[in-house]
């Protein structure tokens, strides 16, 4: 049986089949409104190179001593036209990679080139750091066809950076231009009208106008590095079975809803179903909660103190868990119910012992039997004593707890590998050990198969953080079984929790970027039983 964990970083060997990251806009805002500088028609052979050469000559003329012109933020822009436009620490492709831009991103750049070493089009410093090479990966022509076609990018910080859809069977066709109704019937069959009548009206999905790029009758381009499929009359075949997509935009055309994927394909949305993402949100510990842990108010009940529960994170595992509060006489009375999978910070004080009622930082008390508890612990490398950030992943508890030193910062339920405590080499178990997050992607692709018994093709998996080869922490928009072993080896988080953790860990990913790399300096991750 072939082991599948997750798709890998482009830099490392993985435990699963590799897959390409799809292109798509990253930067917020309307890059299409920016002034174009192309000397040839966008997309024409040599257009980007000719534009770049002209701009370099014009910009550098007479400004070689102008320091401001060597820094971003003076109004000049650069566009990503590749699936990955690498960002380097120095203007040299032999220097360290810091991260990458995604196709369609438009970011601030310096007005002057920093040289042409290994880059005929010129290196440009970008915001907030690093250098990008103009050529196949980037262009100074902001009206480049990839930029015009890509649409808006992901919504950073939101639980779902895109609207997600999952293919039905048969899977949708992938159109590369707006198809007429006749095109659609020729491609999908003469029974299309019956299918559409059975599907009913539009779904609950925010719609945009038809993109100007498409309404002009243009074919969708593929960024440099993207897979070029065989073109038929108006499509490139069907999507894979069991596929899922993030949508850059959705609109109505010929009385039918279409979505533009981040891979720059058009899919009819009546051939898909919306992804119903989990609404789970973990515990984010506030300063006020921690202050209560440090100095809990006095109560008129018999309490004992359990040191290992002071500042511990707890998640409600059952429905109908009672919240209790002591009254003026010291008798406990009902204070409502604790929400299923809600998170609580414990003070360490108990009533009735370790297996009795446990006090929370909010002043409520919950029975120990209704909780999954992760006692505060120290990490194997001393991060807890030095005050640095680190992440605790418990396979047996199916919990992730993020710490700042020895203080709990965040906790939630997760789904680790369905192989449990088995051997990751022969089962779908999560790799155990002490690692560091080395590569982060706002979204990436995961695909594979398991002896034809299980297959998936998941596009734009959100907030992916690789910590060892093909093993990652990432959001899962296709299930809501957190608290149970379920994955092929990765650590699945609910989308909102994945978004929070992504912004909390190192290396940081600037808003304009789609990925960041720091092989040795990322946040520590300890995976154990």
- Which pairs from 154-157 meet CB under 8 Å and 24+ separation? 154/24, 154/26, 154/246, 154/442, 154/443, 154/460, 154/462, 154/514, 156/28, 156/442, 156/511, 157/499, 157/503
Alpha helix stretches (DSSP H) within 277-429: 287-294, 383-386
Residue 33, judged by CB atoms within 10 A of its CB (0-12, 13-18, 19+), counts as exposed
Give the list of residues 6+ apart from residue 287 with CB closer than 8 angstroms, or none. Answer: none
User: Strand 389-394 and strand 524-528: pairing?
Assistant: parallel
Q: CA-to-CA distance for 163 and 175, rounded, in angstroms?
A: 19
User: Strand 471-475 and strand 491-493: pairing?
Assistant: parallel
Ramachandran class of 25: left when φ > 0, alpha when ψ lies in -120 to 50, beta otherwise = beta
Query: DSSP 3-state assignment of 50?
Result: helix
**CA-based nearest residue to 98, from 137, 129, 72, 74:** 129
Question: What are the catalytic residues?
Answer: 474, 490
**Tokens representing 383?**
């991060």
Distances, alpha carbon 182 to alpha carbons 35, 179, 524, in Å? 37, 8, 56
Q: CA-to-CA distance for 404 and 390, rounded, in angstroms?
A: 7
Q: CA-to-CA distance for 476 and 496, rounded, in angstroms?
A: 10
Q: CA-to-CA distance for 393 and 414, rounded, in angstroms?
A: 9
Q: Which residues pair with 245 in a beta bridge?
A: 165
Query: DSSP 3-state assignment of 374?
Result: strand
Q: How far is CA 128 from the centre of its chain?
A: 20
The owner of tokens 């400004």 is 63
Residue 151, judged by CB atoms within 10 A of its CB (0-12, 13-18, 19+), counts as buried
Q: CA-to-CA distance for 172 and 245, rounded, in angstroms?
A: 11
Q: CA-to-CA distance for 393 and 412, rounded, in angstroms?
A: 10
The owner of tokens 């000397």 is 39
Q: CA-to-CA distance for 226 and 262, rounded, in angstroms?
A: 11
**Tokens representing 515?**
């990925």
Residue 246, judged by CB atoms within 10 A of its CB (0-12, 13-18, 19+), counts as buried
């Amino acid at each position: 049986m072939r082991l599948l964990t997750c798709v890998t970083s482009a830099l490392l060997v993985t435990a699963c089949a590799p897959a390409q990251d799809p292109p798509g806009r990253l930067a917020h805002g309307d890059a299409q409104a920016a002034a174009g500088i192309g000397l040839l028609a966008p997309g024409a052979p040599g257009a980007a190179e000719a534009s770049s050469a002209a701009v370099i000559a014009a910009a550098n003329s007479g400004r070689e001593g102008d320091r401001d012109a060597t820094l971003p933020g003076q109004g000049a822009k650069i566009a990503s036209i590749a699936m990955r436009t690498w960002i380097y620490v120095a203007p040299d492709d032999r220097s360290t990679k810091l991260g990458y831009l995604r196709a369609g991103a438009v970011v601030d750049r310096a007005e002057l080139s920093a040289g042409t070493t290994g880059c005929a089009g010129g290196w440009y410093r970008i915001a907030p750091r690093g250098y990008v090479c103009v050529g196949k990966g980037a262009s100074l022509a902001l009206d480049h066809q990839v930029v015009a076609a890509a649409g808006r990018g992901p919504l950073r910080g939101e639980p779902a950076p895109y609207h997600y859809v999952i293919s039905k069977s048969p899977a949708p066709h992938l159109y590369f231009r707006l198809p007429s109704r006749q095109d659609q019937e020729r491609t999908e069959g003469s029974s299309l009208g019956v299918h559409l009548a059975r599907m009913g009206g539009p779904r609950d999905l925010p719609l945009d106008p038809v993109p100007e790029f498409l309404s002009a009758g243009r074919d969708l381009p593929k960024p440099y590095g993207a897979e070029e499929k065989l073109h038929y009359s108006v499509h490139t075949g069907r999507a894979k079975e069991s596929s899922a997509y993030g949508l850059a935009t959705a609109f109505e055309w010929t009385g039918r809803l279409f979505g533009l994927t981040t891979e720059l394909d058009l899919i009819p949305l009546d051939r898909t179903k919306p992804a119903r993402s989990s609404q789970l949100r973990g515990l984010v510990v506030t300063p006020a909660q921690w202050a209560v842990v440090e100095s809990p108010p006095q109560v008129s009940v018999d309490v004992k103190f359990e040191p290992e529960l002071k500042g511990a994170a707890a998640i409600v595992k059952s429905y109908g868990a009672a919240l209790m509060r002591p009254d003026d006489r010291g008798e406990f009375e009902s204070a409502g119910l604790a929400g299923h999978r809600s998170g609580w910070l414990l003070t360490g004080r108990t009533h009735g012992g370790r297996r009795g009622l446990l006090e929370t930082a909010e002043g409520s008390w919950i029975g120990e039997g209704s909780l999954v508890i992760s006692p505060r612990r120290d990490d194997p490398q001393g991060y807890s004593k030095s005050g640095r950030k680190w992440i605790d992943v418990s396979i047996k508890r199916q919990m992730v707890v993020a710490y700042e030193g020895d203080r709990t910062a965040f906790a939630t339920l997760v789904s680790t590998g369905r192989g449990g405590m088995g051997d990751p080499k022969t089962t779908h178990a999560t790799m155990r050990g002490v690692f560091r997050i080395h590569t982060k992607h706002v979204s990436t692709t995961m695909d594979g198969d398991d002896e034809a018994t299980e297959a998936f093709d998941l596009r734009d998996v959100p907030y992916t953080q690789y910590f060892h080869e093909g093993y990652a922490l990432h959001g899962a928009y296709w299930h809501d079984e957190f608290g149970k072993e379920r994955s092929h080896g990765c650590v699945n988080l609910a989308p909102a929790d994945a978004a929070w953790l992504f912004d909390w860990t190192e290396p940081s990913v600037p808003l304009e970027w789609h990925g960041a790399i720091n092989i040795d300096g990322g946040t520590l991750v300890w995976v154990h039983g």
